[in-house]
Amino acid sequence: MTDDSTPNLPILESLHETMTGEYHPQVRMSPRASSIGHPCERRLTYSILNPGDEQPPPPLRRWTFAEGHMHEAMLWKLLQDAGHIGKFHVLSNQQPIVVDEDVDGRRRVLMTGHTDGFICPNDTEDRFPLEIKSMSIFGWRKLSTIEDLLSSPWYYIRGYVDQMQAYLKGTGANRGVFLFKAKQTPAAKDCQGTPVPIKAIWVNRDEERIEAIMAKARRVMDCVESRTLPERIQYDEYVCKDCAFQHLCLPDIEREGAIVIDSVEAEQLIRRLEELAPAATEYAKLRKEFSAQMRGITEAVVGPFEVVGKEHRRAGYEVKETQFWQSRWKRWQLDPVEAGVTIEETAARGA
Ligand code: SF4
């Protein structure tokens, strides 16, 4: 006889443990190319001076990172296969990059990083740095050009451009390419005539932008060497709330007024109220109109509906004084859900 009782295996619990296991922040001596676009130099400095204080990402975010690596590995494998039949080949997955300069005969490292590889035409010596990014289908739909990256409401997407410029500086290349992959397979209409559901955005070397990120890296390195911290950015709920060093940095910030309620249920309640509000208003208006139209009719048939009505009398009463609390809501910041980026994805910014 087969034993059909459910095996007592802690599959999900073990996966959770894997995702919440020990977290070892990278010890680094200079800013990472992938973070150089971050709007806060103080945060970049913390990550070098205080790596042991970096808060581990929450489990869902770690899950998102792991998923991103899977998508990247898949696309890399496909690129290798495509290279065998095409006019290019790919080279050097996770190639280290260093951006440095000579300061009075001393080599000063400003940024380090790893490209996802290089796309190399078979008929020239060119090597174009390659960066693979995966994202939700909603975010993916919004990105088709370099302008889309630069005008993104999300600082980490704008930062992609700085990341690529750092790679161009570090490799000496004049152009690089992003390959954007949606985590869900898009519909054919989303692919805008391209043969595969991948978007390629080429980026030209931009000396002005390179100089700006090198200047930023110099300021960070000055602070690192003098063991000081740059000024905080003006408090930004979206950037600071997500910062792995907020526990070191934020206690000094005096915020008057609002408290932060970190409750998914409360947020969902407000979202649902927002969804229902227009319908509730319309319902009340039409209900009144319906009663006005049917006034005096005690019984009727309207299409498939039976309508009944009668006169009601409401007893008069005095409204006693009471105290009650009424809360209202209004939107105060860009909404990640409306912007088409999942909460988990906003976290996958590599900062
Ligand atoms: S909490 Fe805000 S100001 Fe402080 S380091 Fe982080 S991002 Fe910068």
DSSP string covering 244-313, please? TTHHHHGGG----SPPP---HHHHHHHHHHHHHHHHHHHHHHHHHHHHHHTTT-SEEEETTEEEE-----
pLDDT on residue 120: 94
Q: Is the CB of 40 under 6 A from ligand 1?
A: yes
* CA atoms of 166 and 110, how far apart (whole Å): 10
Q: Which residues, 6 or more positions from 165, have their beta carbon under 8 angstroms from its beta carbon?
A: 203, 205, 206, 209, 210, 213
Q: Is the CB of 248 under 6 A from ligand 1?
A: no
Atom of ligand 1 nearest to the CA of 233: 3
* Å from CA of 342 to ligand 1 middle: 22
pLDDT on residue 255: 52
Q: Is the CB of 249 under 6 A from ligand 1?
A: yes
pLDDT on residue 337: 54
pLDDT on residue 26: 81
pLDDT on residue 114: 93
Q: Which residues of the chain have pLDDT under 50?
A: 254, 339-351
CB 345 within 8 A of CB 143: no
CATH number given to 17-262+339-347: 3.90.320.10
Ligand 1: which residue has its CA nearest to atom 3? 232
* Å from CA of 41 to ligand 1 middle: 8
Which DSSP helix (H) or strand (E) runs through 327?
none
Q: Is the CB of 239 under 6 A from ligand 1?
A: yes
pLDDT on residue 8: 84
pLDDT on residue 49: 95
Record the tokens describing residue 135, joined without a space. 């994202």
pLDDT on residue 2: 62
Q: Is the CB of 49 under 6 A from ligand 1?
A: no
